[in-house]
Amino acid sequence: MGNSQENMERSTSPPTEVQVDDELTVDGILQSLINGATLGDIVGITQEQREALYTMGHFHCTQGRYKDAINFFRFLLFYDQWEIRAIFGLGCCLQMLGQFEQAQLYLGLTVMMEPTNPASGVQFAECLLLSGKKAEAINILDKLRSEFGIFPQHEALMRKVDALLQFSINSSIAEPTDRSE
């Protein structure tokens, strides 16, 4: 996951208070979801419990136990579909297992959810590159370079962008393989 680990470690914004309908009826649950609640809000999973789930997923990911990490990230996303760190973590784990098409869905979602965070775009471009989608990866990397390259806080990330661009230009990328077995 390289420099993208900063994406997984950043804190999420504090949860906003949402009105949860006290009636656990279909209509009550639907109304709560319409009002912005997550399933975790409805069933009473606290922010601390959600953070613990994320922490366990992140721990397993950093230990190279991607399948275990995926279980934690998916469980968390079941209860909080807006947890961008879990979406990103899930995408990274799938990428590390060679499941590039699935990884691109999750990593692409993080780019759409947080377009001002270049770390998501870099990880997405890397996944595209690894899956043999060289032209798409180069396009994204060029866009990241032009949009974020002028900001000193993104200097390390831009070095990764440059390295990925150099790699994509100077190499012929082999067919990707699924490493999930």
Decide which of 177 and 72 is more confident. Answer: 72
| Overall average pLDDT of the 114-129 stretch | 95
Decide which of 18 and 41 is more confident. Answer: 41
pTM: 0.79
Question: Span 2-170: which CATH code?
Answer: 1.25.40.10
Question: And the tokens for 141?
Answer: 């990397």
Give 116's contacts (C-beta < 8 A, 6+ positions apart).
none
pLDDT at 17 over 80: no
SS3 (DSSP) at 15: coil
pLDDT band at 6 (very low <50, low <70, confident <90, very high): very low
Contact 108, 94 (CB under 8 A): no
Single-letter amino acid, residue 80: D
84-108 pLDDT, tens per residue? 999 999 999 999 999 999 999 999 9
Question: And the tokens for 174?
Answer: 């082999």
